[in-house]
Structure 1
């Protein structure tokens, strides 16, 4: 790993992103990668958003993430794209449809058949990105790809490939661990 990937890995390492956490079944995970810690650092967020904006192809009209980390990252990527001279509208996908105000799973109205780039802080199994893909497709939109800051390498790439969605990560968890141990 060289260049911007190495610099980003080092910056992420400095956020101390590995924490002890519990799974839903109560199992302790002593070295859990906390995506919120990563993107809570404004320098890391800005660097990751700028790199993601560079990687999203010109065919994308919107960048979206699921409510919580994904939506904040989508907004940051949208702003970074604007700094790079490109308009890429940010959208939030809700887990549950809203029944008042702007209803549905999208935070704002979007023209039919729009092209979406999905973003998230960390991908594990890819369940969140799959859910976003299926929701947007149900609404008649197209997914140009999915990008994450760190891939935990727990099957996200394979899951999205089955849906025909290109997937890429700025870093793998192995690259991050290697940087962390230096």
Structure 2
């Protein structure tokens, strides 16, 4: 689907987001990831997702990846917080409003003692999409899927800004959750290069 954001269509938005991600979120150099693996680059999506233009672009492009039937979006704090907020806001502007929820790392120690915040905006069985900034092995997403299902919601999609293509997509697929992404590393670098060449 093509749509306007000022003068930008979806393809132009993707190119602009790639340029922003490379400027604000992508750092070459050896690092140790959360999974314990070594990598020759680090990707901190929050730097772009918390920037106004980045939030708008990510919100629109993630929204475009959501399958029919999705009624809300959520993800694990802290990486998914700006993503679910951006998509929820964009969904309202684009006429398909979707509430958002946040999955806590630990259950609330008082009150309802729940893992999910925002659950009162959903009904049992509602089909939701889980959003993630970057997927490596998919380990965090497995935990999120379990918590969301335990709360009575159905996971209808898993969507990320960057798929590192290091096993996470395959692991999710084995559980019946295909991974949708705006970029892989190769696609991110290619899109940013195309943007700079225009």
TM-score of Structure 1 vs Structure 2, range by shorter chain: 0.7 to 0.9
Contact 2:46 2:82 in 1 (8 A): no
Where do residues 121-160 of structure 1 align in structure 2 (5 Å cutoff)?
A: 121-160=133-172
Gap regions ≥5 residues in structure 2: 1-10
Number of matched pairs: 181
Distance in 2 (alpha carbons) for counterparts of 1:165 and 1:26: 24
Residue in 1 aligned with 2:23? 14
Residue in 2 aligned with 1:108? 118
Contact 2:55 2:86 in 1 (8 A): yes
Where do residues 93-104 of structure 1 align in structure 2 (5 Å cutoff)?
A: 93-104=103-114
Contact 1:81 1:88 in 2 (8 A): yes
Residue in 2 aligned with 1:170? 182
Tell me whether 10-19 or 65-74 shows the greater mean CA deviation.
10-19
Deviation by residue 1:75-112 (Cα, 9 ceiling, x = unmatched): 11000111111110010011111122343110133421
Gap regions ≥5 residues in structure 1: none
Contact 1:144 1:166 in 2 (8 A): no
Residue in 2 aligned with 1:118? 130
Partner SS state of residue 67, structure 2: coil
- 4+ residue stretches of structure 1 with deviation over 6 A? 24-28
Residue 45 of structure 1, CA deviation: 1.8
